[in-house]
Structure 1
Amino acid sequence: MSTLRRLLRRPLGAAGLVVLTLLVLASLAAPLIAPFDPAAVNLRAMQQPPGPEHLLGTDDLGRDVLTRLLYAGRVSLSLAALVTGFAVVLGCTVGALAGFFGGWVDRLVSLAADSMLSVPALGLAMVAGALLRPNVLVLAIVLAVVTWPDLARITRAQVLTLRERTYAEAAQALGNTPVRVLFGHLMPNALPPLVVAATLLSANVLLIESALSFLGYGMRPPTPSWGGMLFEAQAFYRQSPWLAVVPGVTITLTVMAINLLGDALREAGGGRG
């Protein structure tokens, strides 16, 4: 039975997968299904509550909240995917090299990872956000730099275990190069726990991005993001509570869906080394 089938047999994991899939598809289809232009200002429709014309209301500039939520999802989810991809490539590569070669390589990678882990990721990201003018790519690189150590440590631990297996020793005895042994034989067997870790990392990235944008160090207007919508709603949460509730609930649902999916993957066998 495949991991996907085992995952779908777990109600919470299946629910997380469905919710996440719907959110991703809705965000990707924003240009097709969004009822308004996300940047269109309508001062006659400022801060309208949810209703038939504007299902989730409008903001202080009369922009449709549902439209902005969909377009913000494209930014926030793309950022989470980019950060996760960059962190996986960086963390898994250096972690694999450290675990396979050991010695000074292992000491250097461990020192770098421990140094990064000793400093709060949000604090480092805030410093970078204050010094730079973040766009999606810049913010993705910054967040990847501060989130790779966990993946590196997991990869290192997996490779340390797998390199002692009989098939790894046989691959080396047959004359395969160290790179081929590492990435052709060991890493494929180290993937399951890394998939779980990467899934949970993407949820953490969403929270970090939301916190950065809420504090004013993340995506800058007019680029919408879920955290940016929370930042813009601060001044109006009393008279227009939906401006904060809508992105807040969306972030919560997305993070919960990803965490449920990650937990289900672990239970379905994804977390076994």
Structure 2
Amino acid sequence: MVKLYSRPAFDEPAWWFVISADQILTFNDTQLPFGCLGELPFPALDDYPVVQLGELRERTCYLIIADYLDDNFDAGEFKPLRNLLDAGDMEKFALAGRARQFSDFLSTHRFCGRCGTRMQAVDWELAMHCHQCQHRCYPRVSPCIIVAITKGEKLLLAQGKRHKPGMYSILAGFVEAGETLEQAVEREVHEEAGIQVKNIQYQLSQPWPFPHSLMAGFTAEWAAGDLHIDPHELVTGDWFSVDQLPAIPPPGTIARTLIEKAIGKEKQ
């Protein structure tokens, strides 16, 4: 349950997700603040928005929305969320992703998009409400597709412009208005790789906080066409033997799970 502007007792141990812009406060690169308010090197939180996010390992989690380049939390360092992903703790990463999305929502909905009046937080749900024109907003969720495509004993992998050097992944893209998820798969694959696919099968989903996506994962098979990699979206791409894959996303990511499903190596 999400509660706006709620905070624990001074002596209650809790997890703290301190977000500044699109980065999160960590100690030693990946360690999140944990402990009582009276023990942590935090400033007074009276002027900071605080949101109760949920629970992690039987302890309550709180989001603190810090200012950009806020030096009141100088005991730690603000780092990209992907550092938590690289650390391999998917529970922490999932909650950090939720914290980042909530922070972005509250920061970008201070004023009504319909009439311009300052909006107020709703007490009982995560929403912002305009009392002037009654417009209410909720955190944005953008549906995306991501698909692992096989061609016999080969898998289509590509290197995106935002990927780490040498890292390859599967194709993905945003769903457009008025199309089904399956239509989005067909369109994105054709736009980015120039091929047609068949046997499109839904597998699983995963929230993805870059910036506020819900990834719908599919597997599919090559049907027709030669590869023509879109240079505007991708650096390179090719068919790789399932026994000789390059560097791929880490375990716990939807991309890694779909790759394992597609090549028949999913762990039971």
TM-score (norm 2): 0.25
Higher relative helix content = 1
Higher relative strand content = 2
Q: Which has the higher contact order (CA 8 A, sep 6+)?
A: 1
